[in-house]
């Protein structure tokens, strides 16, 4: 199993290209099930989760062609996928595939919308709390789907097709909003989704659906209206840049010092996180190429942050911020409001010498002068990259084990960092 070895202490200087957003690419690929014509997606990141979803879609009969590099392509430019779901011959998504990635459960929406039936395994996936699918099922029932659960599978049927309806989520849910949005595009009549998630990835998916002939308004706000259509067609869409990758590298620069251009990044996608970085002492500048992040010899200031749905501070950057605050001058307070059980990185950061106290959903981080390198273990996707950030700033050698978590969400991490002066390498056993 691969490991990542880091010798800490080098500042980061140079340019890091930002990849396409995983959290948009996955639902966009699933949206390809809604039409029998070809959906072309540009700037799709090369990630383990993308490859896994390709296998899942292939199981339904979807043909996916991945176009390689072309003359003139920039290094790290994302891949182009041609997704053709002309003949869906299997509407079952089996446990052995769905259990590896939660987002694959979302295939239930386009399958029941277009094929009028779907049988999808209840998901396994992440270790960060329960993340139930009850709100996704509720959304489909509001659109007239008949739902039964049998043997660990959710079976959805709509013999006469889905019908528009009112979906009022009791709490903000990104996955529920994606499912409701996709299902509603082919439902007869008008659907109103209230208390919808406002994340940029929702808007990106809605933009693509509209290119395919859907009639979606209000995406990116808490109220989305969808006028159902009888058929969607093919389209071409470019995946937006990954705001979590952007924030992760920005925090790495703030922690190690240096000056890095995050090319292709869009500041409006993560303004709350950039504001926190500025408060912590980094210099963040919007440029024509993206975002420039720098920190000179000045120390890191402590901050007080609560995670929140967009446009608040993202839960997916909480672990990275905690790593940064381990070296702050004073005590920081980080409250996790989105997912329970999302502090598994705390005990691993402690191996670097970090001083972190937990009280319910709040972590108090007492900054120390210098972290020390240590062998550590990745526990989930975002937690694992916080260990890399800590290792970049720590004295001596850090070995990060179980890096398959990193490969799910970060494209060519060690290449991008080493190009900016980090001493980081992948070791394959």
**Residues listed for the chain:** 429
- Lowest model confidence (mean pLDDT) among 5-14, 62-71, 227-236, 386-395: 62-71
134 is in an annotated binding site: yes
For residue 74, what pLDDT is reported? 60
Judged by average pLDDT, the poorest of 18-22, 96-100, 116-120, 284-288 is 96-100
170 annotated to bind ligand: no
Residue 3 annotated as binding site = no
pLDDT in tens, 176-225: 999 999 999 999 999 999 999 999 999 999 999 999 999 999 999 999 99
Binning pLDDT at 50, 70 and 90, where does residue 128 land? very low
In the chain, pLDDT over 70 holds for what percent of residues? 96
What local confidence, expressed as pLDDT, does residue 68 receive? 64
Instruction: Provide the pLDDT for residue 75.
Output: 59
Q: Is 329 annotated as a binding residue?
A: no
Cα–Cα distance for residue pair 399/402, rounded to 1 Å: 10
- The per-residue pLDDT for 297 is 74
Do the annotations mark residue 163 as ligand-binding?
no
Beta bridge partners of 38: 84
Query: Is 372 labelled as part of a ligand binding site?
Result: no
Summarize pLDDT for 22-57 with one digit per residue, the tens.
999 999 999 999 999 999 999 999 999 999 999 999
Read off the pLDDT of each residue in 332-345 and give the average, rounded to a whole number: 88
The yes-or-no verdict on residue 70 having pLDDT over 80 is no
More confident residue, 123 or 375: 375
pLDDT at 41 (0 to 100): 98
- Residue 125 scores a pLDDT above 60: no
The predicted pLDDT at position 233 comes to: 98
**pLDDT (mean) for 12-18:** 98
- How high is the pLDDT of residue 165? 98
Q: In the 8-state DSSP scheme, what is residue 123? A: P
Residue 72: CB partners within 8 Å, gap ≥ 6? none
DSSP string over 183-226: HHHTSBSEEEEES----HHHHHHHHHHHHTT-EEE-BTBSEEEE
Q: Which residues contact 70 (CB under 8 A, 6 or more apart)?
A: none
Residues 341, 379 contacting (CB under 8 angstroms): no
Q: Evaluate whether 297 touches 257 at the Cβ level (below 8 Å).
A: yes
Q: What domains, with CATH codes, occur in the chain?
A: 3-18+241-427 (3.65.10.10), 22-238 (3.65.10.10)
Please tell me the predicted confidence (pLDDT) of residue 100.
Answer: 84
Burial class (CB in 10 A: 0-12, 13-18, 19+), 288: exposed
Q: Is 135 annotated as a binding residue?
A: yes
Assess whether 126 carries a catalytic annotation: yes
Place 379 in a pLDDT band, splitting at 50, 70 and 90. Answer: confident
Residue 288 has pLDDT above 90, yes or no: yes
Cβ proximity of 396 and 36 under 8 Å: no
Among the options 126, 198, 327, 420, which is catalytic? Answer: 126
Q: Tell me the mean pLDDT in the region 381-389.
A: 90
The CB-side HSE value for 58 (13 A sphere, CA atoms) comes to: 11
Answer positive or negative: Cα dihedral of 366, 244, 3, 27.
Answer: positive
In this structure, are strands 235-238 and 375-377 parallel, antiparallel, or unpaired?
unpaired
What does the pLDDT look like over 328-338, one tens digit per residue? 999 999 999 98
Is cis: bond before 311, omega within 30 of 0?
yes
Nearest to 356 by CA among 404, 324, 380, 399: 324
């Amino acid at each position: 199993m691969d490991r990542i070895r880091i010798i800490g202490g080098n500042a980061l200087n140079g340019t890091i290209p930002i990849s396409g957003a995983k959290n948009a690419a996955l639902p966009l690929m699933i949206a390809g099930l809604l039409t029998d014509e070809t959906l072309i997606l540009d700037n799709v990141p090369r990630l383990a989760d993308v490859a896994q979803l390709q296998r899942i879609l292939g199981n339904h009969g979807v043909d996916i062609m991945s176009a390689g590099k072309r003359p003139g392509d920039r290094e790290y430019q994302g891949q182009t996928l041609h997704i053709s779901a002309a003949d869906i011959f299997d509407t079952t998504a089996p446990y052995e595939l769905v259990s590896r990635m939660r987002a694959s459960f979302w295939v239930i929406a386009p399958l029941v919308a277009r094929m009028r039936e779907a049988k999808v395994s209840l998901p396994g996936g992440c270790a960060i709390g329960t993340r139930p699918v009850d709100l996704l099922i509720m959304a489909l029932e509001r659109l007239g789907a008949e739902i039964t659960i049998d043997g660990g599978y959710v079976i959805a049927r709509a013999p006469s097709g889905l019908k528009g309806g009112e979906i009022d989520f009791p709490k903000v849910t990104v996955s529920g909003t994606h499912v409701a949005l996709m299902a509603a595009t082919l439902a007869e009549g008008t659907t109103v989704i209230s208390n919808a998630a406002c994340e940029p990835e929702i808007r990106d998916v809605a933009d693509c659906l509209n290119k395919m002939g859907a009639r979606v308004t209000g995406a990116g706000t808490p109220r989305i209206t969808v006028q159902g259509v009888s058929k969607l067609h093919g389209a071409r869409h470019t995946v937006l840049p990954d705001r979590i990758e952007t924030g992760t590298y920005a925090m790495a620069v703030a922690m190690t010092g240096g000056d890095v251009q995050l090319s292709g990044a869009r500041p409006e996608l993560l303004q709350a996180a950039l504001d926190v970085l500025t408060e912590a002492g980094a210099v963040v500048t919007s440029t024509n190429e993206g975002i420039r992040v720098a920190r000179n010899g000045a120390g890191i200031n402590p901050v007080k942050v609560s995670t929140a749905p967009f446009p608040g501070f993202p839960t997916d950057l909480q672990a990275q911020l905690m790593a940064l605050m381990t070296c702050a001058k004073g005590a920081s307070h980080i409250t996790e409001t989105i997912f329970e059980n999302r502090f598994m990185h705390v005990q691993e950061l402690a191996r670097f010498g970090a001083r972190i106290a937990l009280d319910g959903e709040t972590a108090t981080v007492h900054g120390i002068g210098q972290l020390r390198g240590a062998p550590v273990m990745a526990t989930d996707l975002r937690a694992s990259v916080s260990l890399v950030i800590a290792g970049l700033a720590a004295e001596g050698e850090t070995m990060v084990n179980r890096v398959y978590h990193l490969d799910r969400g970060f494209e060519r991490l060690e290449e991008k960092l080493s190009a900016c002066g980090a001493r980081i390498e992948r070791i394959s056993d």
